[in-house]
Amino acid sequence: MVILGIDPALTITGYGVIEVHQRRIALIEAGVVKTSPRQVLTQRLSTIHAAISKLIHDTHPEVMVLEKLFSHYRHPTTAFLLGQARGVICLCCASAKIPLVEYAATRVKKTIVGKGLAAKSQVQRMVAITLGLHTVPRYTDVTDALALAIAHSHISRACIARGKEFSAYKR
Sequence-separated (6 or more) residues with CB below 8 Å from residue 171: 99, 100
Cα–Cα distances (Å) from 33 to 44, 117, 168, in that order, read 10, 27, 26
Sequence-separated (6 or more) residues with CB below 8 Å from residue 94: 100
Give me the active site residues, please.
Answer: 7, 67, 141
- Of the candidates 111, 92, 107, the one whose C-alpha atom is nearest the C-alpha of residue 8 is 92
Counting every residue written for the chain, the total comes to: 171
| First-to-last C-alpha distance (Å) of the chain | 19
Percent of the chain that is helix, strand, coil (3-state, to 5): 50, 20, 30
